[in-house]
Amino acid sequence: MTTSNYEQSSNKLYWVKDNILAVGFPEIEKALRDPDGLLAIGGDLSEERLLEAYQAGIFPWYNEGQPILWWSPDPRCVLVPDEIKISRSLAKKIRKKQFKVTFNTAFSNVLESCSSARSGINDTWITNEIKLAYVNLFNTGYAHSVECWYDGNLVGGLYGLALGKVFFGESMFYRETDASKIALVSLAKKLEEKKFRLIDCQVHSRHLQSLGAKPVHRKLFIHILQNFCSVEKTVF
């Protein structure tokens, strides 16, 4: 099915495994194993659609020029806020207070920085459509950013969504060594204070693993969402 076909289907979702068009998402158990987690194609990035997706353990991830691709991989990479690992060198850097950390003061700048972090690579999943959608979620109180500053310059940060007691991490960047790690540690401490249960890291990476992220079965992840994920907004 081509991109124009999706546009003509009134923002319906193409269920990959069932080969049908429908209004909502299929059950996540129908996600493909290869590529891992691909569930549906098309639709839109409206606030209603995105909130529905995240609460169901689904997220958008696609490159510019592609239709929207929706994913729910198994296993899921997660980080428990009070289990974040802080190395001695990182702890030492945090104690020195060389960096200033803020919340929600430069969301658009963090978003743009995450988008351009992969210098020299033409494609990025943070498309213009994604940017508009998440700025809207920030304006409505669902999306949040953490900023790391050095000498008044933005040198690291991350952004994501907070729904109920679950934070869905989307992307991070750094321009100074450990700046993104310090942003994540600061976020974890803030979430721990607010009794958040989980940070969703989506897919595994060595960087996240070094900070304490671990894989969990999708069934367990969804069980946690059913108990602790809601459209309740968080004030940082």
Q: What is the DSSP letter of 201?
A: E
State pLDDT tens for residues 204-214. 888 899 999 99
Task: Please say whether the beta carbons of 109 and 154 come within 8 A.
Answer: yes
Q: Looking at residue 36, what is its pLDDT?
A: 96
According to DSSP, the β-strands at 38-42 and 166-174 are unpaired
Secondary-structure breakdown of the chain: helix, strand, coil percentages, each rounded to the nearest 5? 35, 25, 40
Give the model's pLDDT for residue 123.
52
Question: Beta-carbon neighbour count of residue 204 at 10 Å?
Answer: 15
Give me the phi and psi of 107, to 5 degrees please.
-60, -50
The predicted structure's pLDDT at residue 120: 45
pLDDT of residue 136: 98
The two tokens of residue 152 are 């008044």
Q: Quick one: pLDDT at residue 10?
A: 61
CA 98 to chain centre: 27
pLDDT at site 117: 65
pLDDT of residue 116: 86
pTM of the predicted protein model: 0.93
Domains of the chain and CATH, by start: 3-73 (3.30.70.3550), 77-228 (3.40.630.70)
Under the phi-then-psi rule, with left for phi > 0, alpha for psi from -120 to 50, and beta for the rest, what region is 101?
Answer: beta
| pLDDT score at 121 | 46
Low-confidence ranges of the chain (pLDDT < 50): 1-8, 119-122
- Amino acid 11: pLDDT: 85
Contact 168, 184 (CB under 8 A): no
Assess contact for 25 and 52: CB atoms under 8 A: yes
Per residue, the 3-state secondary structure of 137-182, as one string, reads HHHCCCEEEEEEEECCEEEEEEEEEEECCEEEEEEEEECCCCHHHH
